[in-house]
Chain A
Amino acid sequence: MTVPIQSIVAGAAMALSGATAEPPEPQDPQPSQPAKNVFNPQMSIVTDFRGILIDNHGEKEWKLNELEFGFAADVDPFLRAEAYISVHKSGHHHHEEGMEEGLDEYEIEIEEAFGVYSGLGGGWQVKLGKFAGAVGRIQRNHIDQLNFLDYPFVIQDLFGDHGLRAPGVHASYLFPGQQFLELTLEAVQAEDGPLFEHAKLDKPVWIGRLRTFFDFSEDLSAQLGGSILTGPRDEDRATVFGLDYTMKWQPGQKGQSAVFEAEAYWANSNEPGFSSTFGAFAALTYQVAPRVFLTGRFDYSELPGTSDVRRGFGGNVTYRLSEFQLLRLELMRITSNFDDPRTVLTFQFQYLIGAHPAHKY
């Protein structure tokens, strides 16, 4: 191992003893990296494998639910690019049983592919491409960052199974000062979903979001966000108001933590006959041992344009053997206005290979 010890120490000693020579800068200013990979994007693959162990409305089955490929790299000193490509079972809508009967096809979806400029100065950040809309907190996370199997019902019922992911432009502004306050504005051409329909470049879904953050103590923190969406619903307009609150207790002691996540949405439309809908989600995850997490979740969702209401109660136990894999057992009881109660017990096995995952709040 070659360490420039002599030069540095000698230099410092000389300087101390009154000589004019300065200790030189280190010879090796950056940790050396394996050169062959330097220009390859950071790549990760999340594999999500599930077993439906109990389902009184459907088949018991094993399924390779999803593979998600993630790529990230700096394009140049100004632009960073990220892409997430998902290969998942096609046509699976949990509330539309029978749909997937006989379908064993996978579809490839570009969930996100965007470039982001973070160094514009003045607190601005601009994103171009297809990205997860600034709606709440949970739906912007990828499947490996959820504390439960799927996105909250209200997200699925308003924006689609995978949330609101659409091409468009994003600009966000971080207000100066110690108190975190961020304003986001987006115009996206959302795909036809349960709520928004026929969005175009000149008839986009507009999204505004404001979020703030509180450090109550070193261990206890919270994020509060509010989102507003307005966009076309066929020839009419639909509007959504959302509130999201996340609270985390993270003492330094390893193996202890608790996370509370809650989101609520109010949707409305001037479409004739559309009655306003409400949906909400709450989950509490408690780390009971270094590797073991317990989550309880509650879902409520009035489906837009219908008189159906989905309710879900459930919970899971998650075993994280390392930062890169988990085993989960989630039990959900789901009721709806037009169906018998459904009970589903799902086993999930998920692992990540490749780049180290980001520790997002």
Chain B
Amino acid sequence: MRIAIIASLLLFGLTRAVATINVVTTTQDLASIARAVGGSRVSVSSIVTGARDPHFIEARPSYMSRVASANLFIAIGLDLEVGYERPILDGSRNRRVAIGQPGHLYASAGCLILDRRTDVSRADGDVHPHGNPHIWLDPYNARQMAWNIRGALIRVDPAGRDDYEKNALAFLDRVDRAMFGAALVDRFGTSTLWTWSQDGRLMQRLRENGAAAQLSGWAGKMAPAAGQAIISYHRSWIYFANRFGLQVVAELEPKPGIEPTPGHLASVVEIARSRNVKAIVQEPFYSRGAADFVAGRTQAKVLVLPGSVGHTPVATDYFKLMDVIVDSVSSALR
């Protein structure tokens, strides 16, 4: 009897170990979405931890060991991880997750991409030719990334197809309801709502349909702020701004990846005054000096916000991240 129990425990443990799909992501946002889509079939870890700039990660050897046993490696792409992705993948010697293999995914595929450029020069700072890589603060892109992750998980673990389909659709539904509120999702369907949002005419269409009062969720909280100007430290908030109708009128960095200079900050102060900017948003890993400088000379308020899951203790998953951002930006722009 005891032997049987031990044997079944061992067997159970063994099958569990075999079934667990090991996923390594670059950012914590990707990890959060991968956990939602993968559910109990996957174990997920991210390379970026805590509040760190995802551009400036070093290819630590420990990451190579972690990726060595990965079934799936997920990066944002768009050169966000250009400094460390390849050294980590090569160092891991894991051919399953090499670029182009089924176990490798650029989650930005098919996402709405802003700042695409036909010609790039480093005179414009550390810009990325394929577009701005900070795509995840647009919930539309989050659902697209979830859909891509679902596809990649099915590739590496076909037996889990049903789970991944179900989890991915549940994630999309949760995003949709968090974005627009349950009432509108049930009334118009997500396709219509996202199309209106994409065209920048969500409020107009809702009014035409006498449904403006039903708008809730992130879009509902942000709606009164539409059209307002904000300033960000890095060009990492344009997807959020684009989705919710805000305008990023200046960045504290003179160019992406270049530290603020006094001359540039002086011009930012001018812009903040003339455009009536009420909020300066920045991730917690930047020093507050530049933002405080501008805020001290204008009516703008400094919002140190998580730009990714894990940047602050409350931003434990994608939904909490967006909740925190939406709550504080909408109240600052009130």
Residues of A within 8 Å of B194, CB to CB, are: 5, 9
Q: Which of B90, B116, B195, B258 contacts A322 (CB 8 A)?
A: B258
Residues of A within 8 Å of B90, CB to CB, are: 80, 116, 118, 125
Contact A254 B53, beta carbon cutoff 8 Å: yes
Residues of B within 8 Å of A15, CB to CB, are: 169
Contact A360 B190, beta carbon cutoff 8 Å: no
**What is the count of residue pairs linking A and B with beta-carbon distances less than 8 angstroms?**
174
> Is A255's CB within 8 Å of the partner chain B?
yes
Contact B151 A30, beta carbon cutoff 8 Å: no
Residues of B within 8 Å of A17, CB to CB, are: 189
> Is B303's CB within 8 Å of the partner chain A?
no
Q: Known: A4-B110, A26-B144, A255-B287. Is A180-B129 also a contact (CB below 8 A)?
A: no
Contact B65 A359, beta carbon cutoff 8 Å: no
- What size tier do the contact residues of chain A reach? 35 or more
Q: Known: A180-B62, A250-B58. Is A13-B126 also a contact (CB below 8 A)?
A: no
> Is A288's CB within 8 Å of the partner chain B?
no
Task: Give the docked Cα–Cα distance between A249 and B55 (Å).
Answer: 17
Task: Give the docked Cα–Cα distance between A28 and B58 (Å).
Answer: 29
> Is A38's CB within 8 Å of the partner chain B?
no
Q: How far is the CB of A155 from chain B (nearest CB, A)?
A: 21
Q: Known: A12-B190, A254-B287. Is A31-B130 also a contact (CB below 8 A)?
A: yes
Contact A178 B65, beta carbon cutoff 8 Å: yes
Q: Known: A9-B191, A9-B195. Is A30-B106 also a contact (CB below 8 A)?
A: yes
Task: Give the docked Cα–Cα distance between A257 and B206 (Å).
Answer: 51
Task: Give the docked Cα–Cα distance between A22 and B164 (Å).
Answer: 13
Contact A360 B87, beta carbon cutoff 8 Å: yes
Interface residues of B in 6-65 (CB under 8 A from A): 49-53, 56-62, 64-65
Task: Give the docked Cα–Cα distance between A16 and B175 (Å).
Answer: 13
Q: Which of B75-83, B221-229, B267-275, B314-322 forms contacts with chain A?
A: B75-83
Contact A124 B118, beta carbon cutoff 8 Å: no
Contact A13 B189, beta carbon cutoff 8 Å: yes
Residues of B within 8 Å of A123, CB to CB, are: 68, 93
Task: Give the docked Cα–Cα distance between A15 and B106 (Å).
Answer: 24
Contact A323 B257, beta carbon cutoff 8 Å: yes
Task: Give the docked Cα–Cα distance between A353 and B95 (Å).
Answer: 31
Contact B112 A322, beta carbon cutoff 8 Å: no
Q: Which of B52, B77, B98 contacts A31 (CB 8 A)?
A: B77
Residues of B within 8 Å of A4, CB to CB, are: 110
Q: Which of A58-66, A215-223, A227-235, A310-318 forms contacts with chain B?
A: A215-223
Q: How far is the CB of A218 from chain B (nearest CB, A)?
A: 5
Contact B144 A8, beta carbon cutoff 8 Å: yes
Task: Give the docked Cα–Cα distance between A116 and B82 (Å).
Answer: 19
Task: Give the docked Cα–Cα distance between A85 and B287 (Å).
Answer: 39
- The winner among A26, A248, A321 for most chain B CB atoms within 10 A is A26
Q: Is the interface of B mostly helix, strand, loop or mixed?
A: loop
Contact A77 B91, beta carbon cutoff 8 Å: no
- The winner among B58, B77, B165 for most chain A CB atoms within 10 A is B58
Residues of B within 8 Å of A32, CB to CB, are: 130
> Is A286's CB within 8 Å of the partner chain B?
no
Contact A254 B92, beta carbon cutoff 8 Å: no
Q: Known: A12-B169, A15-B169. Is A25-B62 also a contact (CB below 8 A)?
A: no
Interface residues of B in 147-187 (CB under 8 A from A): 147-148, 151, 165, 169, 172-173
Contact A25 B56, beta carbon cutoff 8 Å: no
> Is B334's CB within 8 Å of the partner chain A?
no
Q: Known: A26-B148, A176-B68. Is A13-B190 also a contact (CB below 8 A)?
A: yes
Q: How far is the CB of B299 from chain A (nearest CB, A)?
A: 26
Residues of A within 8 Å of B84, CB to CB, are: 358-359
Residues of A within 8 Å of B195, CB to CB, are: 5-6, 9
Q: Which of A221, A291, A324, A358 contacts B86 (CB 8 A)?
A: A358
Contact B68 A174, beta carbon cutoff 8 Å: yes
Q: How far is the CB of B136 from chain A (nearest CB, A)?
A: 15
Q: Which of B77, B83, B191 contacts A6 (CB 8 A)?
A: B191
Contact A215 B62, beta carbon cutoff 8 Å: yes
Q: Which of A8, A177, A248, A253 contacts B65 (CB 8 A)?
A: A177
Interface residues of A in 1-41 (CB under 8 A from B): 1, 3-6, 8-10, 12-13, 15-17, 22-23, 25-34
Residues of B within 8 Å of A273, CB to CB, are: none
Contact A5 B140, beta carbon cutoff 8 Å: yes
> Is B205's CB within 8 Å of the partner chain A?
no
Residues of A within 8 Å of B83, CB to CB, are: 356-359
Residues of B within 8 Å of A29, CB to CB, are: 109-110
Contact A8 B110, beta carbon cutoff 8 Å: yes
Residues of A within 8 Å of B284, CB to CB, are: 252
Q: Known: A3-B198, A118-B93, A322-B257. Is A215-B60 also a contact (CB below 8 A)?
A: yes
Q: What per-residue 1/0 map shows which CB atoms of B104-137 lie under 8 Å from chain A?
A: 0010111011001010001001100111000000
Q: Known: A17-B189, A174-B68, A322-B257. Is A26-B109 also a contact (CB below 8 A)?
A: yes
Contact A119 B93, beta carbon cutoff 8 Å: yes
Contact B52 A252, beta carbon cutoff 8 Å: yes
Task: Give the docked Cα–Cα distance between A17 and B176 (Å).
Answer: 14
Task: Give the docked Cα–Cα distance between A342 and B126 (Å).
Answer: 41
> Is A338's CB within 8 Å of the partner chain B?
no
> Is B293's CB within 8 Å of the partner chain A?
no
> Is B330's CB within 8 Å of the partner chain A?
no
Contact B57 A359, beta carbon cutoff 8 Å: yes
Task: Give the docked Cα–Cα distance between A235 and B299 (Å).
Answer: 79
> Is A270's CB within 8 Å of the partner chain B?
no
Task: Give the docked Cα–Cα distance between A123 and B65 (Å).
Answer: 10
Q: How far is the CB of B145 from chain A (nearest CB, A)?
A: 10
Contact A361 B61, beta carbon cutoff 8 Å: yes
- The winner among A119, A125, A248 for most chain B CB atoms within 10 A is A119
> Is A290's CB within 8 Å of the partner chain B?
yes
Name 9 extra pairs, CB < 8 A, besides A77-B100, A179-B65, A356-B83: A3-B198, A5-B194, A8-B144, A118-B98, A119-B98, A120-B95, A124-B93, A322-B257, A361-B58
The 7 A-B pairs at the shortest CB distance, nearest first, are namely A26-B110, A119-B95, A359-B83, A213-B61, A252-B52, A31-B130, A180-B61
Q: Can you list 5 A-B contacts with CB-CB less than 8 angstroms, sorted by A residue number?
A: A118-B90, A174-B64, A254-B56, A254-B287, A356-B83
